[in-house]
Structure 1
């Protein structure tokens, strides 16, 4: 840079720093799509955080948001309503008794909670993948040496099953036609880790819900509960139970 360019650049940086800096959660920038947020909705959240941190404005008006986003007031109002409806933000109200003023501010605990739940689920999935990878590499050695309680070598088909296991969340997203929410990911993890449903059974319940035209988690959970009560544990049990049900056996 020549002297003039360097001076202009440094003056610009100095001006920017004097205007303050906002601290934005990196997880929001990296994973907002995983939370089913659009780019404009994520940017709106960033602007709300920036107004609070830099300008001390905890409840910016629609007009103020319009100035920094360049978007219409009606669109901004719709996005704010969606963010509140889906629990990313809420509005807290309070009274300043000394000045007899009622004021409001945005509460971001919902956003932080959703980011935390997603990150916790991602860590759990990563640990499960590591455990499965360790089993896949150790089992063939045990079989070859005659150990491992007679564990047979892993066949290509069983490797395919394990790959499908790792893609359980992806299969659900494909059937739902959208990314899963953190709560939905937590539900699937609970089926596997707490309820101990075989993944084959979970996928069969998903298939049943698709056939019934009721592709939502509450319906799938009801199917799994009903199967558990009737000791349905695998594909053959599902087939037998379904035939019995359709023949009026219950």
Structure 2
């Protein structure tokens, strides 16, 4: 057979496209290898516009008996991955066809769930590290009460870890390293709807603006350093 004939035969047979997510997820979904191969064969039949292949059709392409194929089909339907739909052709004649839409939905849900688990694991890791960061800045082990306070910021007040870190940084800059001071910062930020690091930067810049200090310095003939904002002071606004 000539090379061009081989290529023509290859092209005429067409291709079967299977989502990469299926290969990543089918084990997690409890799908056996034989079940997965039958699914691939079903997609191949679908590409040939054979919508309802019989156990005999599958068996002719696989190392499974017709009885084993029937068991695989039953297993996939019991797990909710395969269903049989009714459709009609252009003449209104009803026919049955296999549908793998439930499987593809399950594959997507599995992938989304895996991503959520990754995010949750990262959040748990960050929560664990925040205690170490506080101990490093405080230069000592945290007391049970201090640990409980941090846990309360996370679980009850629902502060993001990044916001808690920013409040700690603010306390370090102000040289007022105490849980009470940090708690007050978080309270003020929450009251002013400071929920992102961009909000934090905007808020701190507003209180450290040199405009007022420069004006006072000119009046007194000298330029004073910009005072750090004392978050423990009661201020409105």
1:39 Cα offset (Å): 0.3
Residue 107 of structure 1: aligned partner: 99
Residue 120 of structure 2: aligned partner: 128
- Give the Cα–Cα distance (whole angstroms) in 2 for the partners of residues 103 and 61 of structure 1: 14
Equivalenced residue count is: 145
1:40 Cα offset (Å): 0.5
- Give the Cα–Cα distance (whole angstroms) in 2 for the partners of residues 135 and 116 of structure 1: 29
Pick aligned residue for 2:27 from 22, 33, 45: 33
Alignment TM-score, normalising by the size of structure 1: 0.51
Please state which structure has a larger fraction of its residues in helix.
1
> Which segments of 5 or more consecutive residues in structure 2 lack a partner in the other structure?
145-154, 156-237
Residue 58 of structure 1: aligned partner: 51
The structure with higher relative contact order (CA 8 Å, sep 6+) is 1
Say if 1:78 and 1:145 are closer, same or farther in 2 by CA, change over 3 A.
Answer: same
- Give the Cα–Cα distance (whole angstroms) in 1 for the partners of residues 22 and 88 of structure 2: 31
Pick aligned residue for 2:61 from 63, 68, 78: 68
- Give the Cα–Cα distance (whole angstroms) in 2 for the partners of residues 97 and 129 of structure 1: 52
- Give the Cα–Cα distance (whole angstroms) in 2 for the partners of residues 16 and 98 of structure 1: 33
For residues 140-219 of structure 1, what are the structure 2 equivalents within 5 Å?
A: 140-146=132-138, 150=142
Question: Is the partner of 2:31 in helix, strand or coil?
Answer: coil
CA RMSD of aligned residues (A): 2.9
> Which segments of 5 or more consecutive residues in structure 1 lack a partner in the other structure?
153-192, 194-250
Pick aligned residue for 1:18 from 8, 12, 17: 12
